[in-house]
Structure formats: structure tokens, C-alpha cells
Amino acid sequence: MDPFLETTGGLWYKTLVELMDGKRIAQTIRARIQEEVHQLKKHGIVPGLAVILVGDDPASVSYVTGKEKACAEIGIRSFDHRLPASTSPESLLQLIGHLNQDPEVDGILLQLPLPKGFPERQLLNFIDPEKDVDGFHPVNLGKLLLGEETFLPCTPHGILKILELEGIDPAGKHAVIIGRSITVGRPLMNLLSRKGAGGNATVTICHTGTPEVSVYTRQADILVVAAGSPRLVQGHMVKEGVVVIDVGVNRIPDSTKKSGYRLVGDVDFDSVAPKASKITPVPGGVGPMTITMLLHNTVLAAKKRMSTRGFQTEGLI
Ligand code: NAD
């Protein structure tokens, strides 16, 4: 347990909340993935991830840089494709087609969101499902729904890993998710409600069509917030003892920072943490786990390549 002191309104409170340190959990998992990469290299296979970034959105540039750095740290080769926003959708399709055929590329990541005007879904659908390490291809999302083995989308998978490694079994609990995106909320809803380990929760999903979100958040044993709305969830909206996973990453202006901004989550940490039994921080919570599960999927894809060469592979993580 890692109790910490918090100051609010000039008063000191010793809270019993436990921080779920995504960075620390990610390090543990990455050490194991690194060992897998080492084993693959012994068989002449270097896992390769192609990363495509279109345009220069600062948040996307920072995510892509972080992903490439994480690859380099554990020995995954990354192939960097940074394209101007003026790139045509046709040449992007052509690039994806080329990467689909490239035997050195195990995984293809198309950084989202794409600049306005790009047919995002059409492009994602064009990625070879065997190289779809983000898990957004209809084939892989369909397999997820069916409970078949597939590339799980990285953020929901990272959240499951946090819960597992923090000893929180969702079975029998009421999990409330805010956000129904295909990257976070909807796959997570399926994973948490599926029959089997890490699942068996009763899941409620809230979204912009939910009239009063707090009616549901107050019932949550596990609350996952992925809305993209700074400090949407306040202390009065949760019950005592709730486990809180804050997925949101929002840049808010901060003149004390050199960059002029700082990152906050979708949860108002100061008012929610004192009521929570466990909570993820922002930054340093879900973010590092998302990247870790991307590394995991890339190695999984490389292991499939290895098994096609007749080598034995064993389960990872
Ligand atoms: P999105 O915009 O695609 O979806 C947001 C969802 O939240 C929508 O379904 C919407 O209905 C719901 N929503 C928004 N405001 C709401 C409100 N006031 N009440 C109820 N529902 C509301 O966003 P996304 O891609 O799912 O990302 C959500 C947030 O998570 C963003 O801040 C994003 O940056 C962050 N994110 C972080 C990671 C990570 O690794 N840490 C990964 C993915 C997304």
C-alpha cells in the first residue's frame, strides 16, 4: 500500500487511497516483453512496428514519439512514416498496402485522429488484420465480441492488466464506463462483461446521450472514465471505496509550465481520490499501459510470423 498525503484548501488530509501506478506496472510487463524480443532475435526475428503519423497535431506527435521510444527501449524495430497533412488518402492507402506486404513489418499503427477529410474507417479496414496491432480492424473487433483470440485494443487491454495486477477482480462488481468510443469504451464494455477471468462484471456504459451520468457513477464499484472532458467526474459523483481508472488526457493552460499547459484527466483527482480505494493518476496511469499493450501486440504478431516458419511459440504475459 502506498498512502500519500494530499493538501486541499490549506488542510492536510491523510488519505487511504492507493495509487495504481501505471508506470510501475508497465515496467514489470515490459521487462517480460523484452525477454520475448530477445528470444525472437535468437531465431533471427526482429519484431517490427510501422508507425504512420499524418499531420503535426502536437498530442499525436508526442504519442508517436513515445511509442517509438518504447519500441527502441525493448528492441522492437520501428519504421517511422511521418507524412504531411496534405498527403492524399490514395497515397496513404498505397503506403498501407506496401506495409501489408513487407515481411519485416509485423504491426501497423495508424495514429488517430487523422486530419479532417481522411476516410479513417476505410484506411483502418485496409490494414491487414494480422498486422492490426491496435485491434481496430472489423475482423479483430468481431473476434473480440466472439471471445476469440485476437489483438485486443491497447487501452482496454491495459486497463484489464491494471485491474489484474492490482488484484481487483471485476467478477460480480458493477463497472461503470463513461465513453462509448471504439478505442476505449465499447471494447472495454465487452471485455469486462465477458464470461471468464477478468470479466463477469455487470457493466453500465454512459455517454453524451445519458441524461444524468452521476446516477450511474454513484453506483460504480469500478469506474472507468474515457470522455475527454477535464475533471468531468467530481467527488460527489462517486461512492466510498470505488476503484477509479482515469483514461482522459486533457491539455489545460498553465502559465507556470514552460510548455504553457499541463495534463489532467477526466476525473477531478483532488475531490475523488479521498473517496476512492484505488485510483490511477494522470499522467502515469493508463497511458504507459496503452503503449505497453501495443508492444505486447507487436511481439504477438512477430511470434505468429515465427510460428509460420515452424518454430514453437509460447504464450506471452
Ligand atoms: P472520443 O471523443 O472518441 O469519445 C468520448 C466519449 O465520451 C464519447 O462516447 C462521448 O459520448 C462520451 N462523453 C463525452 N463527454 C461526455 C459527458 N459529458 N458525459 C457523458 N459522456 C461523455 O474519445 P476517446 O478516444 O475514447 O478518448 C477519451 C479520452 O481518453 C480522451 O481524453 C483521450 O485523450 C483519452 N485517451 C487516453 C488514452 C491513454 O492511453 N491514456 C487512450 C485513448 C484515449
pLDDT digits (tens, 9 = 90+) for 34-53: 999 999 999 899 999 999 99
Q: How far is the C-alpha of 114 from the C-alpha of 60, rounded, in Å?
A: 9
Mean pLDDT of the chain: 93
Residue 312, pLDDT > 60, answer no
Give the residue from 260, 296, 262 showing the smallest Cα distance to 282: 262
The pLDDT score that the predictor gives to residue 80 is 97
Q: Which atom of ligand 1 is nearest to the CA of 180?
A: 9
pLDDT digit string, tens, across residues 160-175: 999 999 999 999 999 9
Pocket test for ligand 1, best of 176, 182, 207, 231 (most atoms within 8 A of CB): 207
99 CA distance to ligand 1 centroid (A)?
A: 29
**CATH class for the domain made up of 44-128:** alpha beta
Q: Which atom of ligand 1 is nearest to the CA of 285?
A: 41
Angle between helices 22-42 and 58-74 (to 10 degrees): 50
Whose Cα sits closest to atom 21 in ligand 1? Answer: 207
The residue-averaged pLDDT of 16-29 equals 92
Say if 44-128 and 153-287 have the same CATH topology: yes
The residue-averaged pLDDT of 131-154 equals 97
Residue 3, pLDDT > 70, answer no
The residue-averaged pLDDT of 311-316 equals 52
Q: Which atom of ligand 1 is nearest to the CA of 265?
A: 32
Contact 298, 133 (CB under 8 A): yes
181 CA distance to ligand 1 centroid (A)?
A: 7
Residues with CB under 6 A from ligand 1: 155, 178-181, 183-185, 206-208, 210, 213, 226-229, 232, 247-250, 286-287, 290
Per-residue pLDDT band for 309 (boundaries 50, 70, 90) equals low
Helix (H, G, I), strand (E, B) or coil at 260: coil
Residue 254, pLDDT > 90, answer yes
Whose Cα sits closest to atom 13 in ligand 1? Answer: 227
Which runs of E-coded beta strand occur in 188-303? 202-206, 222-225, 242-246, 250-253, 261-264, 276-279
The pLDDT score that the predictor gives to residue 228 is 97
312 CA distance to ligand 1 centroid (A)?
A: 40
Neighbours of 16 (CB within 10 A): 11
The pLDDT score that the predictor gives to residue 31 is 97
Per-residue pLDDT band for 306 (boundaries 50, 70, 90) equals confident
Q: Which atom of ligand 1 is nearest to the CA of 209?
A: 11
Residue 248, pLDDT > 70, answer yes
Per-residue pLDDT band for 17 (boundaries 50, 70, 90) equals confident
For the chain, percent of residues with pLDDT exceeding 90: 90
Pocket test for ligand 1, best of 152, 214, 232, 247 (most atoms within 8 A of CB): 247
Pocket test for ligand 1, best of 208, 245, 263 (most atoms within 8 A of CB): 208
In sequence order, what are the residues at sequence separation of 6 or more whose Cβ sits closer than 8 angstroms to the Cβ of residue 243? 163, 168, 221, 222, 223, 276, 277, 278, 279
Whose Cα sits closest to atom 12 in ligand 1? Answer: 179
233 CA distance to ligand 1 centroid (A)?
A: 13
Residue 14, pLDDT > 60, answer no
185 CA distance to ligand 1 centroid (A)?
A: 8
- Angle among Cα 195, 178, 129 to the nearest 5 degrees reads 60
Q: Which atom of ligand 1 is nearest to the CA of 282?
A: 41
Q: How far is the C-alpha of 163 from the C-alpha of 170, rounded, in Å?
A: 8
208 CA distance to ligand 1 centroid (A)?
A: 10
Domain spans of the chain, in order of start: 44-128, 153-287
Residue 15, pLDDT > 70, answer no
Query: What positions carry a catalytic annotation?
Result: 67, 111, 134
- The third-level CATH classification (topology) of the domain covering 153-287 is Rossmann fold (3.40.50)
Per-residue pLDDT band for 2 (boundaries 50, 70, 90) equals very low
